[in-house]
Structure 1
Amino acid sequence: MADPARSKVRAWLSGLARNSQRWITATVLAGVLAGLATIVQMVLLAWLIHQGVIEKTPVSELTPVFLALLAVLVIRSAGQGLQTRFAARCSERVRRDARRQLHHHWKATGPVNLADTSAASLAREWLDHVEALHGYFARFLPQMTLSVVIPLAILVLVFWLDWLAGIFLVLSAPLIPLFMALVGMGAEKLNQQHFETVSRLSGQFLDKVRGLTTLQLFGQTEAASRTLEARSDQYRKITMKTLKVAFLSSAVLEFFASVAIAVLAIYIGFGLLGYIEFGPSDELTLFSGLLILLLAPEFFQPLRTLSQHYHDRAAALGAGAEILARLEQSVDNAEPIRPDNGISDHGIQMSGVTLRYGEGPVIFNNLDIRIKAGQVIALTGPSGGGKSTLLHLLAGFIWPETGAVSVFGEAPGNQPFGWLGQRGFWIQGTWAENLRLTTPDATDIAIDYALRQVGLGELVDSRADGIHSRIAEDGLGLSGGQARRLSLARIFLADYPLILLDEPTAGLDATSEVFILEALHKLSESGKTLVFSTHHQALLTLADRVLIVNDGEVRDA
């Protein structure tokens, strides 16, 4: 994927920030409250020490000030707690918006166009890349404002106490942002390389694991291991480079902040001892000198915190570039317009549909089809004739170049429908968990009934755990026919009005074919609209209408 320009990534991040501006503002206000409480705390602490050491004020007279100091500590803690809470809410909102954008793009792209993309890359975009936005919105963005407001408030107070000490702070403060910018230039590029490398590594690792049996059959496991080792070593090197930049930047920033505070301490110390007579140094007291020393670390703390969170910005820009590259991928086809015809409210209609993949040849040209609700339609014809493509159009997985498609009065995919492709989908878990993927609230009784409808009753009874028997990913633990019937049981359980099946009996033994035929017959008798592609003669006899699909033409048999 081509990397979007940095300006586009920043604009996208700014758009996410605008949608959560209320929480960002609340985070900043809570941080300002905590910062102002810190300033008041230092003022009270310096005044208490001055009164106790210099003025010899009795402790009993200082009790109200001690109580005020405790109250300020409580306010500071409350401000910090609210800042963390509001930051978490802001990040949660932003990540939800980012995932919503990805979901909308994936939906518009469709599973057919996403088939060439590694599942691991999509998973990392959804999980790791989106999670990488957390630090930027929860910490870095609010801290940018706090690193200006709090130091300015401290600077005003320090100038009022001693203008020469204020000048020291003003001269040293720009060093931290300067080095942050210099470090950030390299860190941003490294983080983007980090995300690109780990995405490729994840995709390759998942592909190798899924194809482990094939690799063993062809004796390529050693070569695959060496490839993964090389990619892992590359990932290690980039990770270490990123960590090196982060540690070095922190060390440099801490050094300059420490040097600035040390210079200020030397000035105040020699000023109080009377060795410096320049400027306002002769007016220094224990109160003013101690307060300046207490405020100096707090002056640099927001800037140091910002520098610590600067890698969050680099990580967000790197992850944002990957996400935005996905979002900017063009979707070939636009959503079709539903035909203005009454029949489309009661069945399926294609009107003037023309379809092609990219710049390839036309697959369908000005296609018109009408299917009544409750009909059983069989699509047959030579392989490569367009049967699967026609099913993809009805499912809303792809959109036509021109023309319109209506499914029960709505655009394809807007209403729930049953889909049984040539390759099923299962997760590692129990049979019940796999069936509840489409019907989360299904009872054990309903699941057991659905399994028996597809001829898996005897298998359920033979298992000690029944419907809670476990299967591995990709249906391992079941035969091909049993796994296909398990997928079909989902359709029985969900009770969809429209069911689309792509070669439902392909590659099955005779016993499994019989069970599939019986299950489809039950679905047809219940009034469901069935559209399936097949070469199987028994399935053709089940259909109310047989359509021959060949070379872009669809005609009745």
Structure 2
Amino acid sequence: MQDVALPDGAGLDPETAQAVPDAAPPGDRRAARAAMQDRIIAPVKPLLRRAGLLSILSGLLWPVQAAAIAWAVSGWASGALALERSLWAAGIFLLCGLIRAGLDRVAGGILYRAADETIARERELLIGREARRPGGAGSAAVAALAVQKLPLLHPWITRYHVAMLRTSVIPLVYLAVAFWFSWAIGVVLLVAGPLIPVFMALVGMAAEDASRRQMDEIGDMNSMLMDRLSALLDIRLLGARARAAEDFETRADRLREKTMAVLRIAFLSSTVLELFAAIGVAMVAVFVGFTLLGEVGWGSWGNGLTLYEGIFLLLIAPEFFQPLRDLAAAWHDRASGVSVVEELEAMDAAPRVALLGEGAQATPLPGPLSVSMRGGVAFLPGRALPLPDLDVGAGQSLALVGPSGVGKSTALSALAGLVPLVEGRIEVCGQELNAGTADGWRARLAVVPQRVHFPDLPLSDWLSGGRAMGESTITEALDLAEARAVIDRLPEGLQTRLGESGGGVSGGEARRLMIARAVLQDADLVLADEPTADLDALTADRVTRALRRLQGQGAALVVATHDPALAGEIDAQIVMTGENEA
């Protein structure tokens, strides 16, 4: 089967596409956040916990290094300049440093593996679902989410949860150590430390909103880019290049403003948090200094602090705030990640039309070609659509005509198994069209959609469907579809790679290439959705002749059309009025 799963809607026409709903209202945010944890964090939680424990062990080795430095310095101050003492202190410091580096390296590897697994899983689910059951989001929005936004989960996974674990353990250990030597320094750290998470939470609310607006703008800009690229020829013909460039400039400025808003919040929060950390460390330094000078005689449990104790406390004070700093920095990563997951959840919740079968390659359904539909009712999101009774046999042609919206394209989608019936029955090749037969049935079909999608392949590979074919065979099919001249004028001929929307060929030329592909695929049934729409009379006549030649080769043909000239060339017509529409 060819190009049955189309990028624009569920089926052969955007008629069946649905818009992606907005994110959950604020009242549901708590439940949504729990769902996000289950979706993103729960599958890799064992890895995150292991990495977090290694990171905590690394952090707890710093007091040992600080004690070694304080021991050496206090010895120098007391006149104990023995080389042995200094070497022991240096050895302890270096050994702990090497152990910390090793623990951090192993933890980092685990975290990156967890992040890569999560992003790969979400990307595979997103692309696999959108390829088989597209929602209302355009290909640009899906591409932006898969390529630009999903990687923003990486810092959330690698930084935020480890920072949370470190913050829940290391500051408490350091606080207990500080209280062991001096209750005054313990009180200073106890007061200054919690201020950082409080301000982090306050700033974080604004950061999430700013990140969400930035993510929306990225998606909108990608959608606009795809729209302009698909209409590039029209833009040039209409002389609208200046207007298009102005639109890009305006949208780029909006994205710049939203990005700068995120950065301003990040820098503001960093400034505030660093201020509290600096004040806390400064107060510890002042207290230690005045205590060692003998100006302060209170604040410790004994007769004041010794030089060793003072240096030790000065060294661990900045590290008391470091996990809190890391958490504050990772909070912005979390805000970006939450915005991405909210978009994933919204896209998951988009109304979709079910697809019969797996959408995979399969052995063609056996038996002589026959198609019969009786009492069919297709259910689209929010809409039940009655379909006409019809019969098509080998070599026959049928035209579905009628005004827009009556279900012509939906009928073609139902015949292809892209839209299931809620009532009625479709029989193909003497068997019911259901999940078990749909893939085999689609292997006997070819589709000529309104909007042709070209994969990133040379035209020779796309036309042949990846099968080994001589150039003469391909040329014969192009001649039958009156598309040989299209290939001849392309810069690389059959090796040309067209853009996704067929950049370099017109709409009529793209449809004739589709007909040539149907010839090469030896399709038994061709479903053509408005094959002459938006074409001039000469081009429409070429497409019509190509379809008739295809039927002359033995293929059956079902066409949805508004074109009376095309309908007049078809063997039979069914007029759809929509009068009985549910």
Residue 341 of structure 1 corresponds to none
Residue 7 of structure 1 corresponds to 30
Q: Which stretches in structure 1 are left out of the alignment for 5+ residues?
A: 339-343
State the distance in 2 between where 1:460 and 1:229 align: 36
Deviation at 1:393, TM superposition (A): 1.4
Matched, 1:26 2:50: yes
TM-score normalised by L of structure 1 = 0.79
1:295 to 298, 309, 316: 316
State the distance in 2 between where 1:403 and 1:175 align: 66
Residue 431 of structure 1 corresponds to 459
Deviation at 1:174, TM superposition (A): 0.4
Residue 169 of structure 2 corresponds to 149
Once the two structures are superposed, what CA deviation does each residue of 1:339-377 show, in whole Å capped at 9, x if it has no partner? xxxxx98676656421255556x6425x666778xx455
Per mean C-alpha deviation after superposition, the further-off stretch among 209-218 and 20-29 is 209-218
Q: Where does 1:112-261 land on structure 2 (aligned, <5 Å)?
A: 114=136, 117-215=137-235, 226-261=246-281
Q: 1:281 to 1:491 in 2, by over 3 A?
A: farther
Please give the secondary structure, in 2, of the residue aligned with 1:251.
helix
Residue 469 of structure 1 corresponds to 496
Deviation at 1:173, TM superposition (A): 0.5
Q: 1:205 to 1:462 in 2, by over 3 A?
A: closer
Deviation at 1:227, TM superposition (A): 4.8
Residue 321 of structure 1 corresponds to 342
Matched, 1:484 2:511: yes
Q: 1:133 to 1:9 in 2, by over 3 A?
A: farther
Please give the secondary structure, in 2, of the residue aligned with 1:132.
helix
CA contact (8 A) 1:420 1:502 kept: yes
Matched, 1:378 2:397: yes
Deviation at 1:257, TM superposition (A): 0.5
Please give the secondary structure, in 1, of the residue aligned with 2:279.
helix
Once the two structures are superposed, what CA deviation does each residue of 1:313-357 show, in whole Å capped at 9, x if it has no partner? 2212323333322222333x556799xxxxx98676656421255
TM-score normalised by L of structure 2 = 0.76
Please give the secondary structure, in 2, of the residue aligned with 1:354.
strand
Matched, 1:355 2:383: no
Residue 56 of structure 1 corresponds to 80
Q: Which amino acid aligns with 2:343?
A: E
Please give the secondary structure, in 1, of the residue aligned with 2:421.
coil
Q: Where does 1:305-454 land on structure 2 (aligned, <5 Å)?
A: 305-331=326-352, 352-355=375-378, 357=380, 363-364=385-386, 375-376=394-395, 378-384=397-403, 386-403=407-424, 406-407=432-433, 410=436, 412=438, 417=443, 418-426=446-454, 430-432=458-460, 439=466, 449-450=473-474, 452-454=476-478
State the distance in 1 between where 2:257 and 2:237 align: 33
Please give the secondary structure, in 2, of the residue aligned with 1:11.
helix
- How many residues are matched? 528
CA contact (8 A) 1:429 1:472 kept: no
Q: 1:178 to 1:476 in 2, by over 3 A?
A: closer
Deviation at 1:449, TM superposition (A): 4.8
Per mean C-alpha deviation after superposition, the further-off stretch among 448-457 and 2-11 is 448-457
State the distance in 2 between where 1:136 and 1:404 align: 49
Q: Which stretches in structure 2 are left out of the alignment for 5+ residues?
A: 1-20, 359-364, 427-431
Deviation at 1:12, TM superposition (A): 2.9
Once the two structures are superposed, what CA deviation does each residue of 1:248-275 show, in whole Å capped at 9, x if it has no partner? 1111111110111111111112222222
Higher relative contact order (CA 8 A, sep 6+): 2
State the distance in 2 between where 1:159 and 1:452 align: 88
State the distance in 1 between where 2:441 and 2:175 align: 62
Please give the secondary structure, in 2, of the residue aligned with 1:313.
helix
State the distance in 2 between where 1:407 and 1:368 align: 15
Q: Which amino acid aligns with 1:379?
A: L
Deviation at 1:305, TM superposition (A): 0.9
2:576 to 550, 553, 556: 550
Q: Where does 1:84-95 land on structure 2 (aligned, <5 Å)?
A: 84-95=108-119
Deviation at 1:13, TM superposition (A): 1.5
Deviation at 1:87, TM superposition (A): 1.8
Please give the secondary structure, in 1, of the residue aligned with 2:145.
helix
Q: Which amino acid aligns with 1:364?
A: P
CA contact (8 A) 1:428 1:471 kept: yes
Deviation at 1:380, TM superposition (A): 1.1
State the distance in 2 between where 1:270 and 1:230 align: 59
CA contact (8 A) 2:414 2:420 kept: yes
CA contact (8 A) 2:478 2:516 kept: yes
Q: 1:471 to 1:104 in 2, by over 3 A?
A: closer
Residue 75 of structure 1 corresponds to 99
Residue 304 of structure 1 corresponds to 325
State the distance in 2 between where 1:404 and 1:84 align: 57
